[in-house]
Structures are given as C-alpha cells and as structure tokens.
Structure 1
Amino acid sequence: MSDTDNPTAGQRVAELRRKRGMSQRDLAAEMGRSESWVSQVERGIQPIERLSVLQALADALGVPVRELRPEAEIAPEPEPEPEQQPQSNDLDGLRVALTGHPTLGSLFGQITACPEPSLDDFSQRVDELWDLAHAASYAALSDRLSKVLPQLEAAVRHGPEAGRAELQALLARTYQVAAASFVRQDEPDAAWVAADRALQAAERAGQPLEVVAGLFRLAHAFIRQQRTDQAEQAAMSAINVLTPRSQADASPPEERSLLGAMHLVMAVISAREGDRSATHAHIAEARRIAATNGVDRNDFDTEFGPTNVEIHAVSTAVDLGDAGMALDVAERIDPSGLSPERQARFLVDVARAHAQRRHVGEATAALLEAEALAPEQVHSHHLAREVVRDLVQFSGHRVPEPLAELADRMAIA
C-alpha cells in the first residue's frame, strides 16, 4: 500500500485518497472539514485520536477503519445507537412557541385588553430566564420563556409608547437566551430563528451592542450547523467594527467583552478547521482583552473574562487534538466562579481530552462531575454524548459500572 513497511495513518489517508482520484479539497468537503485540516492529517501534524473521526474519515474514503489504522479495531464495534439524541427535548415547548408570527391576531384587529406586566416586572423575568440558562435548567426555562415571549411581543406592539424602546431591548435579550439555549441543546435551526429575531429587536431598540450580542448568538448557531463561512462573517463583522473602538482610552469594558467573545468564536471556528496558528492568535487576543478588563464579567450574558478564555483554550486544544496541552491548561483553571453551564462545559472538554488519551476512568469522573452540576446539559449536549460513546467503545466488553450507568441515563446504547 505504501513504499514503507509501516506507513503512518496520514500516509495511508494520502494514498487511499489518491487511489480514489480525490483531491484534498474533495476529501475535506466529504468530511465537512477544511483543506488545511486534510493536509495536516496526511503530513502527521494533525493526529486522529477519536474513533468517531477516524470512522468518518474511513467512510469518506470508502474503506474499513482497519485500512487506516489496523489497531483501531482491537475494541469490538458497538451496536449502533438507535437515536442520536434523547427521545424528548427540554426545549420542545419553546420551539413550538417560536413557530409562526408572534402576535398574528393583532394584524386582524384581534387585540384582547388585559393587564400587562410592568417594565420592571419584565426586566426581572428576563433576568430570571438568563439565570435558568446559566444553570442549564432548560425544562424550566422553556416553560417560562413560552409564557414571557408572547407577552413581550404584545407589549412592544400595543403597550404605551413610553418605554417601548426598553421593551424592545428586553425582547432582544429574551430571544438571545432562547438562541443560546437552543444551541446548547443541539437545536441550531431554532437558534438561528431566535438569534435573527434578537437582532431585529435590538436594532429597533436602538441598542447597537445588543445587535452585536445577537450576532454572537447567531455565530454559535452557524457553528453548530457547520456553516463556518457564515459564522466567521458574523464574528468578523463585529470584530472589524469593535476593534478600532476598543483602542480608545475611554473604551467601555462591556464593548471589550463583546470583542473578546467574538475572538473566542473565531478561535472555535479556526480549531474546527484545524488551523492552529489562527486558533492560538485569537485565543491570545482574547487573553489580552480579558486582562485589560481585569476580572471575570458577564456583559451581555457572555461570561467573558480571563477564566472563560482559558476554558476556550482547553476546548480548542481538544478540537485540534492537543490533549496534553488541553489537560495542562485545565490544571490551572478554577471555574467555580462561573455559571454551572460554563463549569459543566469545561468538564466535558476535560473528559474529551482524557478520552483522546484513552483515560477512561478520568474521563468518566469528569463527566460525572459535570452531570452533577448540569444534568440536562450533559445528557443532551452532542459533545458529551459523543465522548460517552467513545469511552464505551474503548472499554469493549468491560465497560466500567459508573460509565455504563451514565450511558444508561443518557439513553446511549
């Protein structure tokens, strides 16, 4: 198969690709990756540690996994999982509430007079919605959001003119919390709709920074849909506007937080494309901005600050296959000051790093800690489910009991 007696996995990929008459661009398209990522795999720069990625690569080349890495089939193949997601979704009710026109009856004069909550009441309710999102309590969030959204939509249309802009700003924040939650629950199409409505409400409110926050949510929806060009466009449009503003002496910290958050978006995109230099450059810029702000903040509910930057450094290192770097950075992080959602997401990435090194026990321990913090998130998030499937496959017929119980709670075969 190769001129050498023991060809590397990258050399096998290159030879199989050429045999199929595929270019690196063709293979990248089949994989949903960048051409640069394929090139790095073939040159041995980008390691393939996860069996799920190895399987996807084999499928794209039309060969069994053993053609790429013979030792990968030492563990028995697991039974196919009948469903990729849990049978029910905690945000199903919200998805229904988001469907259609928010106040269609009002277009036909069907306006029912009823007392609306005051501006202060609405503001408190929206803050509570974000508290639930940061706690990853999606079932409760869906129930409350489904009630608040129609009321806010009616208020901005039929309430007194005074306070209308403030209501629009609250509506923007409400759609943003919906978008953020849909992304975390792997509902990117609904997240796209919610983020777009957030952008419109923010513009009507005359709040340009809320527009940027809406773009932040939109970019994450695009990332989850693997629409990296659109995600990059959303993030870079904000970076290009905010960067010169951030260089002024009187630059407000909330603007810098949004700029830093957008650099973290770009770091995620670059890591998914296998671009190490760009990933590290965006992480470095986010670190600089976070250091300028000095402390962990939660401007526009981004939780941007030094700790969240390091959490993204761990996540992007795992995406790049740099498990050692990810674990080294993770040892220096104390995420306890952030929300349960951020803490749980960090622990899922720690588990992913351990899984890349076949550390089943350590990975399982991190997942169990994450589950204790945010069970709804861990049970439904695609990365948590992916790492559990990988750990079960690594274990073969001897799946440790804690891992087997976790897989059972997550409805993973």
Structure 2
Amino acid sequence: MTQGELAAALGRTSSWLSQVERGVQPVARLDVLRLLADGLGVSVQALQPDSPIAPETPVRDEGALPANDLDQARLVISGHPVPEVLLAEEVTPAPVSLSELRSAVDEIWALTHANQFAELSASIGPLVPRLERAARTAPDDERPALWSLLSRTYQALSAAFVRQDEPDAAWIAADRAINAAERSGEVLHVFAGVFRLAQAFVRLKRVDQAEHAATTAVNALHQHTPAVAAEAEALSVMGSLHLVLALAHARAGSRAEARREIEHARQVARRLGKDRNDYNLEFGPTNVEIQAVSIAVELGDAGEAIDIGQQIDAAGLSIERRARLFLDMGRAYGQRRQTGEALACLLRAEELAPELIHTHVAARSAIRELILIAGRATSPELRALAERADAQP
C-alpha cells in the first residue's frame, strides 16, 4: 500500500502517516494503534509488542452499534417527503398553527440535547411530513417561517444522527436543512446547516470535505457579511465552524492547525462574552473549553485535556454537553491508564446521558481500552458498564 492509500483508508492525511513512519509523530494511544493495525491487516502487538492482548473473541466491527433508536427517523428522510403533493393537480392546504409547530420543533431540540433518541425518533415521524407539506402548500406569507422550522428540524436530526454514528443519514439531514434554510430567507440558518454538514463529514472520515465546507462558510462570514459578523448570532455560527475545523484537523493528525482553530474559537467566544444557544449550537466560552478538552484527547494530549477539563463549570449547558465533557475526561484518564478516574468519569457521563455512553463509538472504545488495560483486575463496575454499553473487548 502507498502512504496515500493507507492514509485514505484510515481517514488521516499522508503527512501524518509519514510522520508516524519516521517516528516524528509518536502513537501511544491504543485506539490509534488498533486503527493502524486494522488498516495494515496485522495485530496491534505486531506494531507495539507490549500492548495489552485482547482475549480471544470473535472479530467484531468496531463501529457496530446496538439497536439504533433512530431507525424510524431514517425512514422519515428516505425518499421524497411528500410525493403526493407533486402529483396532485390541486392541493388543499391543511390549517397550520405556527405557534404549535414552533413548540413541536423546540421539543425536538430538547430531546436532541438530552440524547433521548427513541423519543426523538417517535416525534419526528409525524412532524417532518407535516412541515414539508405545510411549507409547500401554506399561503405565501407563512411559507418562510415554515421553511425555517423545517430547517431547524433537519438540523436536530443531523445532530442526533452524528451522535449515534449514522453520518450518512446526518449528511442527508444537513443537506435538507441547508436547502430549507435558503428557502426561508434566513441566511445564518444556512451556515448553521453547513456546521451540521461538516460534522457529518468528520464522522464519515471525510476530513477534506469537512474542512472545505467549514472553511468556505467561515470565509463567507468574514468577507461578505462584515456587518452581520458583529451580531451575536453570527459570532455563534462562526465560532462553531472554527470548532468543527479544529476537530477535522485533529482527526487528520494536524496538531498545529487544530490548535489554531481552537484559538480562533476562543477569540470569537471572547467577543461574544457569554454562553449562548443561537441555532442550538450552545456556543460560548464554556463550550469552547469543552471542545478544547475533546481536541486535546484526539491529539493524545491527555494531561492538557485533564488540566482544562478540571477548570470547567458546565452546569449552565445541556445534558449532552455536560455528559460529553465527562466522556472526554474519561478518555483522557484512560490514555494515562488511570482506570479509577476514567471509570468514575464514564459512570458520571452515563448517569447524565445513558444513550451517549451506550451508543457513542468513542465511549464504547474507551470502555474496551479500560478493560484491556485492567486485564484480570477489571472491577465489577467496569464489567457491568461494558455489558450495558455492549463494549466488551
């Protein structure tokens, strides 16, 4: 295999792989070693002989998930949402209540932030076709508001799909969100949709596409809307785009670029001055530091991640954000082989958002690593967590 072929298979850049081969970029994390080993078709021990040996178990897909609570939501976005509207010669619009629909969309986002995916999927079933039909058949003066609500709904779906490692569905939902936002005339909703799209690309390991989507959006905000860029809502979007760029660079192993984007996000957060939730992005100084913890973990800088995380008070953010902080702190402690602290953080995250720990690929990978590190000394609490998350090695 060429460097380019292997790098593409791993979702990394050729320059990162070259640095690994030359010893410039050390690889100490077990999950990265496993990624390299899988790409090369060898065991982890072939790359690093002193790595923990997993017990003999049937080969399983590292990305496999238990029964997905968003299966119904996937069906909703499959195909055209309201084909009968296209065929009908004359469609009588059903009466709609914008206030009722706004409340329904707000509830969708509340479920998304709480990681309550089964409830979200059940609510999406009737809501999306209703909004799609209304946006096409309502009086002209009501349509922009309906397209805006539809965009918000698809953005929530995209965020949920990303968290349950369904990036292909997240891509579709984000694309529909962008289209609906453009038809609503609310420009910043388009950019919020691009943020969701970039997240899907990162999860798909299409880091070049994530970088392209987010960078073009950031440049447009900087260059073409200088007046808007001073508004709080625009700052929230711009800062969020810098954060997803930081994640994309971290996943590609580009340390300097990832740190540069985190610093850009910090600068935007300072201009914003406080935590906000514009477009359900939860952007602000606190969320930037939560993301900085995540980026440090991705880069293997566990000590830095722990130092930052211990200073964060996330009480004002959603359950999802608080749980994500504990998850990443658990991953950081795991990298340092501090299994007790790592387990405590993961259990705290599970207490806040069980579905995040039970379905998130990073969480399940972290649990497996802790079991491999502990070996025969694995505690009953850790084994029980692994069973609940279907994360046995």
* TM-score, L = length of structure 1: 0.89
- What is the match of residue 55 of structure 2? 77
Q: Matched residues in 1 for 2:284 and 2:32: separation?
A: 32
Aligned counterpart for 1:209 among listed residues 162, 165, 188 = 188
1:326 and 2:305 correspond: yes
SS of structure 1 residue aligned to 2:79: coil
- What is the match of residue 363 of structure 1? 342
1:285 and 2:264 correspond: yes
Aligned counterpart for 2:158 among listed residues 157, 168, 179 = 179
The one-letter code matched in structure 2 to 1:140 is: E
- What is the match of residue 301 of structure 1? 280
Give the 3 Å change call, closer, same or farther, for CA 139–59 of structure 1 in structure 2: closer
What residue ranges of structure 2 are gaps of 5+ in the alignment? none
Q: Matched residues in 2 for 1:26 and 1:92: separation?
A: 33
SS of structure 2 residue aligned to 1:304: coil
Q: Matched residues in 1 for 2:221 and 2:152: separation?
A: 20
Q: Matched residues in 2 for 1:275 and 1:43: separation?
A: 16
CA offset digits 1:216-254 (Å, max 9, x no partner):
111111111111111111101111011246765981011
Give the 3 Å change call, closer, same or farther, for CA 64–189 of structure 1 in structure 2: closer
The one-letter code matched in structure 1 to 2:221 is: L
- Measured on the aligned residues, the alpha-carbon RMSD in Å equals 2.0
Q: Matched residues in 2 for 1:326 and 1:160: separation?
A: 52
The one-letter code matched in structure 2 to 1:319 is: E
Q: Matched residues in 1 for 2:89 and 2:340: separation?
A: 60
CA offset digits 1:381-406 (Å, max 9, x no partner):
11111111111111223321111111
Shift of the alpha carbon at 1:42? 3.6
- What is the match of residue 130 of structure 2? 151
SS of structure 1 residue aligned to 2:315: helix
Shift of the alpha carbon at 1:63? 4.2
Contact 1:78–1:393 (Cα < 8 Å) also in 2:
no
Between the two proteins, the alignment pairs up a number of residues equal to: 391
- What is the match of residue 212 of structure 2? 233
CA offset digits 1:31-85 (Å, max 9, x no partner):
3311222233245443323223213323444544333222114x44352464643
CA offset digits 1:189-229 (Å, max 9, x no partner):
11111111111111111111111011011111111111111
- What is the match of residue 337 of structure 1? 316
The one-letter code matched in structure 2 to 1:68 is: L
Q: Matched residues in 2 for 1:41 and 1:170: separation?
A: 47
Contact 1:180–1:191 (Cα < 8 Å) also in 2:
yes
Identity percentage over the alignment?
A: 49
What residue ranges of structure 1 are gaps of 5+ in the alignment? 1-21
Give the 3 Å change call, closer, same or farther, for CA 119–276 of structure 1 in structure 2: same
- What is the match of residue 71 of structure 2? 92
SS of structure 2 residue aligned to 1:136: coil
1:384 and 2:369 correspond: no
Q: Matched residues in 2 for 1:66 and 1:329: separation?
A: 32
- What is the match of residue 5 of structure 1? none
Q: Matched residues in 2 for 1:411 and 1:28: separation?
A: 29
Contact 1:179–1:217 (Cα < 8 Å) also in 2:
yes
Q: Matched residues in 1 for 2:10 and 2:372: separation?
A: 22
Contact 1:246–1:255 (Cα < 8 Å) also in 2:
no
Contact 2:93–2:134 (Cα < 8 Å) also in 1:
no
Contact 1:86–1:410 (Cα < 8 Å) also in 2:
no
Aligned counterpart for 1:190 among listed residues 150, 169, 181 = 169
Contact 2:144–2:185 (Cα < 8 Å) also in 1:
yes
The one-letter code matched in structure 1 to 2:213 is: A
- What is the match of residue 82 of structure 2? 103
- What is the match of residue 3 of structure 1? none
